[in-house]
């Protein structure tokens, strides 16, 4: 699988799910989409797709079910049967350029909702991009530090199954994450993410699962942010107790090798507003 193909999957399955947290954690964004009942599907021709749904003041991101795709009665799309807006990209490269703000998708359905895309959805994705493009000044503000850490942690967790399935250097590492659960948690009260490892792959979960096989505890938000940004000497941090490892450390070692590959495809600020250019079209 090409670099562009892997990156497209990361954009869809690791970056875009952060919209859920932006709506939940940012009061302004939550109010912005409070009355929206719309679903927006992003799809690459012959490739991956995912759907962003708004309903009941919440946002959910995930694959379209077969029932939704068929558009039959009772389909789960937030706006009715199937997605209310369908946006297509001709290739993985096309989708990645859209995330970079350098291209536009092809609208196939839902032209009457372009006003939502050009306003609310664009503002929401702009805010997500803002939280994912830190500067030292921004990180000096506790609220921003927490949001950037939360979204970066989620992106890392959701990148794991994509990389294990498609990155040539990560595919051989799958045997090291074939059974058990890993939890990464920022002390004292989170945020946290969990990875459920099984024979069929790795399932990322937002939040903390109980009784993990391996546990990574990060002293505080600043430590976690430095850890995720690769600014932390993990050996020194382990000695000082800033990073604590419990349980099956071999699983954590394998996870670290996978996470090292995220930066090859996604760098800070690259989570550009996917819908901003979509709406402009």
- pLDDT bin (cut points 50, 70, 90) of residue 281 is very low
Per-residue model confidence (pLDDT) at position 169: 94
Mean pLDDT of 54-66: 84
C-alpha distances out from residue 266 to 35, 117, 120, 193, 274, Å: 32, 24, 25, 19, 14
Predicted structure pTM score? 0.87
Work out the burial of residue 256: count CB atoms within 10 Å of its CB; fewer than 13 is exposed, 13-18 middle, 19 or more buried: exposed
Beta bridge partners of 89: 44
What average pLDDT score do residues 261-280 get? 57
User: Which tens digit of pLDDT belongs to each residue from 92-134?
Assistant: 999 999 888 888 888 888 788 878 888 999 999 999 999 999 9
> How does pLDDT run across 266-275, given as a tens digit for each residue?
875 444 333 3
Cβ–Cβ under 8 Å, residues 1 and 166: yes
* Unique residue bearing structure tokens 């609310």: 120
Question: Which domains, and CATH codes, for the chain?
Answer: 3-135+269-280 (3.30.1050), 171-260 (3.30.1050.10)
Better-scored residue on pLDDT, 64 or 75: 64
| pLDDT over threshold 50, residue 14 | yes
Q: Which residue, chain included where needed, has tokens 């927490």?
A: 146
Comparing C-alpha atoms, which of 45, 271, 10 is closest to residue 166? 10
What does the block give as tokens for 71?
A: 């558009």
């Amino acid at each position: 699988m090409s670099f562009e193909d892997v990156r497209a999957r990361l954009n869809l399955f690791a970056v875009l799910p952060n919209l859920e947290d932006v709506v939940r954690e940012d009061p302004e964004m939550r109010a912005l989409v409070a009355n929206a009942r719309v679903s927006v599907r992003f799809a690459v021709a012959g490739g991956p797709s995912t759907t962003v749904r708004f309903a009941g003041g919440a946002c959910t991101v995930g694959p379209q079910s077969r029932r939704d795709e068929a558009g039959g009665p009772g389909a789960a799309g937030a706006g009715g049967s199937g997605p209310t807006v369908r946006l297509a990209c001709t290739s993985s490269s096309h989708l990645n350029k859209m995330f970079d703000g350098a291209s536009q998708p092809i609208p196939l359905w839902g032209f009457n909702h372009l006003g939502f895309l050009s306003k609310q959805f664009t503002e929401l994705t702009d805010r997500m991009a803002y939280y994912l493009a830190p500067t030292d000044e921004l990180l000096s503000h506790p609220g921003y530090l927490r949001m950037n850490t939360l979204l970066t942690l989620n992106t890392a967790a959701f990148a794991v199954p994509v990389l294990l399935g498609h990155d040539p250097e990560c595919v051989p590492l799958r045997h090291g994450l074939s059974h058990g659960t890993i939890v990464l948690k920022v002390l004292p009260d989170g945020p946290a993410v969990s990875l459920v490892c099984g024979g069929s792959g790795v399932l990322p979960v937002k939040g903390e699962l109980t009784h993990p096989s391996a546990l990574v505890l990060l002293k505080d938000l600043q430590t976690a942010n430095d850890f995720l940004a690769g600014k932390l000497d993990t050996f020194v941090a382990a000695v000082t107790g800033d990073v604590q490892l419990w349980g099956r450390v071999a699983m954590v070692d394998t996870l670290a090798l996978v996470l090292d590959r995220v930066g090859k495809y996604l760098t800070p600020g690259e989570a550009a507003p996917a819908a901003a250019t979509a709406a402009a079209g």
